[in-house]
Amino acid sequence: MRSVTAAAGAAAVLAGLITAAGPAAAASGAAACSPAIELLPSLPGVSGGTVAGFGTGGLVVGESGDRPAYWTGAEHTVHAVPLPAGFDRGSVKAVSAKGLMVGTATRDSDRYRVAFTHQLGSATSEPLTVPAEEGGAVDVDVNESGRVVYADGGIAKEWVNGQVVRELPVPADAIAGSEVVSLNGINKRGDIVGTVSGSYFDAENDIMVTKTFPVVWPAGGGYPPYSLQVWNGYHYSYSTIGRDIDDRGRVVGLEDYYYRNDPKLTPAVWKKPYDALPADPGRLNGYHDLELSGSSPTTNVAVGTATNFEESRPSYFQAVYWPGKGAPLALPFPTGAPGAVPRTRAFAATDDDRVGGTVSDRETGAGSAVIWTCASKQAYAPKG
């Protein structure tokens, strides 16, 4: 592990970039932390990696060189997670308080994918789903108590202690042909966020009608699911996606627009009682697009990635920290990161002010999993 302290590295990066507004105010629970940017070690013989989630006792999960992995201890010792039998690549997305990891794996021979579970300390991983062809929904997540949600053949399921305890229905107001296309988050209470999509041909108007929108299934199944409102719908060029749900029920995600080589990513935030259009927190100064990918459980922080496109392809990535109000802020590039043209993305945040993601070189592809500690004290507003 290479660690860059605020004084030795991050401060030098920030000195010429922070505006007069200064760093973001520290999040709740961050008072005792020390600002640092930690580059996590890779598994032997590979490079690159991503932090996707945080567990208890310093446990961190994600992937290293396209292999599912986790890190332990103050030095972030890296460990490989065994893949389900017959699968070649994968990643861990999340871990419960008792070390139950969940992730996805891919088989190189036919690109089929499965969701899987792995209990910390076990010699094997177990598939949750039947293999799905490329593009099939096999998303998975777990909350701290060990409740797992996953998509299996267009059907969303909740799994506890080795058994499916319920299937999650598509909302009654979804259009014909709708099914669950992704499951993206479950909070401490057990509320679940995912994405539903459907389409049909409207012969009278000679058009294809498509709607892709986020859904929240309340914990326990005692209430019908909420269809979250979207800015634009009923056209295949718009997909609105819920990426995470915090313990207060706030959902973060994005509207993904792509039509005739003109992409646009707009951040979106929904709050209970889910009776209004999403809020748009704005863009990072200097960037055209922003997607929100993760949130802290209780401190109202969201993280994601700002993007600029060149010739309809993403060319620049910048990890973003949003405190829950005001403008989105940037997280600094690590000093000593692999390569000369770094790109960063952020995917996970904690209540103790850590943010996890990835850093890579735009030209060479070299990279590393990364953690920003005391992230609120490092986040800054880039100059115009």
pLDDT at 144: 95
Interval 331-374: pLDDT, tens: 998 876 555 557 899 999 999 999 999 998 766 667 899 999 99
How big is the chain by its Cα radius of gyration, in Å? 20
Helix, strand, coil content of the chain in percent (nearest 5):
5, 45, 50
SS3 at position 55? coil
CA distance 296 to 355: 9
What is the rounded average pLDDT of the residues 300-305?
A: 98
Question: Residue 201 CB: number of other CB atoms within 10 A?
Answer: 12
pTM of the model: 0.89
Q: Compute the residue count for the chain.
A: 384
Selection from 255, 367, 332 nearest residue 9 by Cα: 332
Contact 238, 255 (CB under 8 A): yes
pLDDT at 274: 97
Interval 3-49: pLDDT, tens: 333 333 333 333 333 333 344 444 444 557 899 999 999 999 998 99
pLDDT at 177: 86
Contact 192, 185 (CB under 8 A): yes
